[in-house]
Structure 1
Amino acid sequence: MPEPLPSDPPESMRAWRVTALGEPAEALSLDVLPVPQPAPGEVLVRVSAVAANFPDVLLARGRYQVRPELPFVPGIEFAGRVASLGEGATDFIVGDRVVGSKIGVLSEYTVLPASDVWAAPSSLSDVEASGLTVAYQTAWFELHRRAALQQGEWMLIHAAAGGVGLAAVQLGAAAGARVIGVVGSDAKARVAKDAGAEVVLVRGADDIVGGVKAATSGHGADVVFDPVGGEAFDASTKCIAFEGRIIVVGFAGGTIQTLPAGHVLVKNYSVVGLHWGLYPGMRPDLIAVARQELTRLADEGVVRPVVDHVVRFEAAPDALTALAAGSTVGRVVIQVAS
Structure 2
Amino acid sequence: MRAFQVTAFDENPRLVTFDDPTPGTGEVLLEIAACGLNFADLLMAKGTYQDTPKPPFTLGMEVCGTVIGHGPDVSEPAIGTRVAVFGGQGGLAEKGVFPAAMCRPVPDTMPDDIAAGFMVAYGTSHLALTRRAGLQKGETLLVLGAAGGVGLTAVEVGKAMGATVIAVARGAAKLAIAQAAGADHLIDSDTDDIKSAVKALGGADVVYDPVGGDAFKAALGACNREARVIVIGFASGGVPQIPANILLVKNITVVGFYWGGYLAFNAQALTDSLAELMAWHAAGKLKPHVSHRVPLDQAADALELMRSRKSTGKVVVTP
Of 68-77 and 317-326, deviating more is 68-77
Q: Deviations over 1:87-113 (max 9, x none)?
A: 343431111111111222111111111
Match of 2:25 among 20, 36, 40: 40
Q: Partner of 2:57: helix, strand, or coil?
A: coil
Q: Deviations over 1:176-230 (max 9, x none)?
A: 01100100110011100010100011112112111111122xxx11110001111
Deviation, 1:257, is: 2.1
Q: Partner of 1:162: helix, strand, or coil?
A: coil
The residue aligned with 2:141 is: 155
Q: Deviations over 1:251-293 (max 9, x none)?
A: 0100112121122111210000001111122112111211210
Q: Partner of 1:281: helix, strand, or coil?
A: helix
In the alignment, structure 1 residue 86 sits paired with structure 2 residue 74 = no
Deviation, 1:20, is: 2.9
Matches within 5 A, 1:1-338: 13-21=1-9, 27-102=12-87, 103-216=89-202, 220-336=203-319
Gaps in structure 2 of 5+ consecutive residues? none
8 A contact 1:128–1:304 mirrored in 2: no
Whole-angstrom distance in 2 between the partners of 1:152 and 1:90: 46
Whole-angstrom distance in 1 between the partners of 2:70 and 2:284: 32
TM norm structure 1: 0.91
8 A contact 2:27–2:70 mirrored in 1: yes
Whole-angstrom distance in 1 between the partners of 2:69 and 2:28: 6
Q: Deviations over 1:235-262 (max 9, x none)?
A: 1110111110000010010011212112
The 4+ residue runs of structure 1 with deviation greater than 6 A are: none
8 A contact 2:77–2:103 mirrored in 1: no
Q: Deviations over 1:123-146 (max 9, x none)?
A: 221011111011111111111110
Q: Partner of 2:228: helix, strand, or coil?
A: strand
Q: Partner of 1:163: helix, strand, or coil?
A: coil
Whole-angstrom distance in 2 between the partners of 1:277 and 1:165: 17
Q: Partner of 1:148: helix, strand, or coil?
A: coil
Q: Partner of 1:172: helix, strand, or coil?
A: helix
- Taking only the aligned residue pairs, the percentage that are identical comes to 42
The residue aligned with 1:4 is: none
Count of matched residue positions in the alignment of Structure 1 and Structure 2: 318
1:49 and 1:209, CA in 2 relative to 1: closer, same or farther beyond 3 A? same
TM norm structure 2: 0.97
Deviation, 1:335, is: 0.9
Whole-angstrom distance in 2 between the partners of 1:202 and 1:309: 23
Whole-angstrom distance in 1 between the partners of 2:311 and 2:85: 23
Q: Partner of 1:176: helix, strand, or coil?
A: coil
Gaps in structure 1 of 5+ consecutive residues? 1-12
8 A contact 1:129–1:305 mirrored in 2: no
Whole-angstrom distance in 2 between the partners of 1:122 and 1:140: 22
Whole-angstrom distance in 1 between the partners of 2:84 and 2:306: 21
Whole-angstrom distance in 2 between the partners of 1:137 and 1:87: 30
Task: Give the letter aligned to residue 61 of structure 1.
Answer: K
Q: Partner of 1:129: helix, strand, or coil?
A: helix
8 A contact 1:121–1:298 mirrored in 2: no
8 A contact 2:58–2:93 mirrored in 1: yes
